[in-house]
Structure 1
Amino acid sequence: MIAFYIPGLLGDILIGIFILFTILNLIVAFNIIFIKDRSTSSTWAWLFILFIAPVLGFCLYIFFGRGVSKRKLYKHYRKDIEQFDDIINEQRYQVQEGKIQSENPVVNQHHDLVNMLLTRQPAFLTDGNDADIFVDGHELYDKMIEDIRQAKHHIHLEYYVFELDGLGHRIIEALEERLEAGVEVLLLYDDIGSKKLTMRQFKRFRSLGGQVEAFFANKLPLVNFRINNRNHRKIVVIDGQIGYVGGFNVGDDYLGLNKKFGYWRDTHVRVEGKAVDALQLRFMLDWNSQSKRERLEYLPEYFPVKEENGDVAMQIASSGPDDNWHEIEFGYTKMINSAEKSIYMQSPYFIPDNSYINALKMAANSGVDVHLMIPDMPDHPFVYWATFYHAAELIDSGVKIYMYNNGFIHSKMMVVDDQVASVGSANMDFRSFELNFEINAFMYNEDIAVQLREAFEHDVTLSTQLTAARYEERSFWIKMKEGFSKLITPIL
């Protein structure tokens, strides 16, 4: 009797679990369809997962599918940006009236892009910036550490990945040196991106007065319910005078010291000028959203007067899951639609929606010379094969696709008509456009645009072109991986 009783009991338990998760999934499905403001593709992808794997699908949704409330995350957002209201409102009026005041001819030519970035976000336009482009990690961090060692008042850092390896220790040592000199140092890192970090590792740093916070930190040991919404931004602000933004994280991998990836090709920008105020604003908003201490106040010391030593006009655009307005995605798309001659793009992950794909196809079929560069090796298998599939989709329209062979390309860059360029943390994929917190610099300057285009052309010599014939030669197994990756594209 016992032998028959146990299977029956187990069966009842399993049926009960199945019924419970079916009910829970129906509630989740109702929420996804009628409450959450998701794209159609994302909605169908989640419904597909919930339907084919009820228990696993529910667990995945709890960790990956929930949204973010701007009201809760940035409680003081309105107060924090009010000091910039005058400049933002004045610029919006100037652009709408066609009276934008800029001596930069590229700004005047692309005033519609300026206006779009201003409409829903405080991406105010700044003139007179000096910008330096870095495509090599060694050169970037040598310069950044030199700048850190010259800091007099404050150093603010925000990174997705911050590894305490060789490079990380070099930076921490430089920061601790400035802490001993009385400089304020704040470090905000992403809890998932920097999963190897613990507060114990910052014992000396904190004893010297340094402050460290983790973005969306674990609420329970080894469990983080915000896996899907991460702070992917990379920001450094020094004395309110120097800023850094781009794709490089902190770690030996980004110096090309990882044998798996080899040379690490990325793009970063060093900025001096009024655009640093926008980077400072973004850092302070993020810091105040996570800090367990008193909020940072918007003191004049954080926004000092700056000299105009350059000729680069710039807007700092941010986006994240806290806002349905996908600022950076729309900025990229607007650049594509404005192109008359050429488009150059680099992104390690290329998984955009159909509107983005169609914009590129229309540009190429209109005679615009369109180039896209992606990696020739995966760091995330499903993402890589989805990227491979979406890139190949453009070949028939005449888009030139290059696969970078000299290590791993992590650069997130777009250049249009040798005039406008964007460099930042946002990949050209669903995750960067809708799920992660991102930041990009949109730059209006022909010299910067040409410099980035020439860097792209150099990378072409280290790449293999993906042609239609080569794509058709892929194996059946690759086609299978592409097919599965395509199904889950909206949640990658």
Structure 2
Amino acid sequence: MIRKVVNFLTGRMFTIGILMLVQLIFLAYTILILSEYFVYVYIGLITMSLVVVVYIVNRKDNPSYKLAWVIQIMSFPIFGGLFYLAFGGKRLNREIKHVIDKVVKDTEYLCEQNQQILEEVGALDKSVANQSKYIYSYAYAPIYKNTETEYLTPGESFFERLLEALESAKHFIFMEYFIIEEGLMWNSILDIMERKAKEGVEVRVIYDDAGTITTLPENYHKTLQKKGIKTLLFNEVKPALTFKFNNRDHRKITVVDGYIGFMGGINLADEYPRSVPHVLCSAQNRTQTKK
């Protein structure tokens, strides 16, 4: 018991919590000071909200999106403008946008839509074909044939099939998850991935920092990298009050050799196979095309 308390008090989560609490106290104190100038602050916030509404109305954007924001701001004019500046109208900064555009350009040839397949779908159902065109245009996700989809339930069956797929990997293993927790499930997966990495298989893992802040040791991504597993820690949690904190990676995806993919609601922790049935499917592409 004492050891758990000591670990908690010296842990990363406790430190981050204390630092954020200090910032909240400072923010509350600032608001208290500004309350002496309530009239001026009130007028300033109302003016800001009106300016923001004018900006939204004149902005080229989805009309329903603009209307939703205008209604919210006019309903709560004191903080509505601030709320929009914090959460609405977000745009990627130039550097990130440049990186994303480059990745899309470098990989777009891998996502080309086979027009013959699209025509075959159109002959069967035009509405499905139109939907496929829409998805491809906006998400670069072409429709394929010669595939199989299997619904895995309960969660234990997913775990078994996942291990089988990982064992069969010849070229690469890509994994992206919100929560990873050390235990039977993750340790079994890690043993296979570490062995596959030594065999020359490319192994990559992305996991969310907030989702694993209490389930994995600090700097665990460096531990995985030492095992030959290329690892990315998504949106590292920092002790600062920022809206970026809520930008989390809730994906739960595994792809093996481009033939087998798992997706659904199960994270890589022992509690999931038993408690989250009926949530996951596996898709296996029986054909491989080369550019």
- Residue of structure 2 equivalent to 1:79: 105
Contact 2:221 2:232 in 1 (8 A): no
**Partners of 2:210 and 2:70 in 1: CA distance:** 22
Residue 272, structure 1, aligned to residue 271, structure 2: no
What is the CA deviation profile of residues 36-69 of structure 1, one whole-angstrom value per residue up to 9, with x for unaligned ones? 63563674356426743734x5565455434344
- Say if 1:186 and 1:16 are closer, same or farther in 2 by CA, change over 3 A: farther
Residue 137, structure 1, aligned to residue 155, structure 2: yes
Q: What aligned pairs does 1:88-487 form with structure 2 within 5 A after superposition?
A: 88=113, 90-91=114-115, 95=118, 100-101=119-120, 108-119=123-134, 120-121=137-138, 122-159=140-177, 161-166=178-183, 167-194=185-212, 196=214, 200-215=219-234, 217-218=235-236, 220-226=238-244, 230-256=248-274, 263-273=275-285
Amino acid at match of 2:199: A
Amino acid at match of 2:206: L
Q: CA RMSD in A?
A: 3.7
Amino acid at match of 2:38: L
Residue 65, structure 1, aligned to residue 88, structure 2: yes
What is the CA deviation profile of residues 6-37 of structure 1, one whole-angstrom value per residue up to 9, with x for unaligned ones? xxx86543344434433443444344443363
How many residues in Structure 1 have an aligned counterpart in Structure 2?
250
- Say if 1:199 and 1:52 are closer, same or farther in 2 by CA, change over 3 A: same
- Say if 1:44 and 1:270 are closer, same or farther in 2 by CA, change over 3 A: closer
- Say if 1:208 and 1:84 are closer, same or farther in 2 by CA, change over 3 A: closer
- Residue of structure 2 equivalent to 1:384: none
Aligned partner of 2:59 among 13, 25, 35: 35
- Say if 1:151 and 1:25 are closer, same or farther in 2 by CA, change over 3 A: same
Q: Secondary structure at the match of 1:244?
A: strand
1:202 CA drift (Å):
2.7
Contact 2:132 2:143 in 1 (8 A): no
Q: Secondary structure at the match of 2:219?
A: helix
What is the CA deviation profile of residues 97-128 of structure 1, one whole-angstrom value per residue up to 9, with x for unaligned ones? xxx247xxxx7422431233224243322211
Higher relative contact order (CA 8 A, sep 6+): 2
Kindly indicate which of the two structures has a greater share of residues assigned to strand. Answer: 1
Normalising by structure 1, we get a TM-score of 0.43
Amino acid at match of 2:179: F
**Partners of 2:85 and 2:211 in 1: CA distance:** 19
Contact 1:21 1:58 in 2 (8 A): yes
**Partners of 2:63 and 2:212 in 1: CA distance:** 29
- Residue of structure 2 equivalent to 1:21: 45
What is the CA deviation profile of residues 150-208 of structure 1, one whole-angstrom value per residue up to 9, with x for unaligned ones? 3232111122x223243334433432232233322111234555554676123321112
**Partners of 1:136 and 1:36 in 2: CA distance:** 47
Contact 1:134 1:269 in 2 (8 A): yes
Q: Secondary structure at the match of 1:74?
A: helix
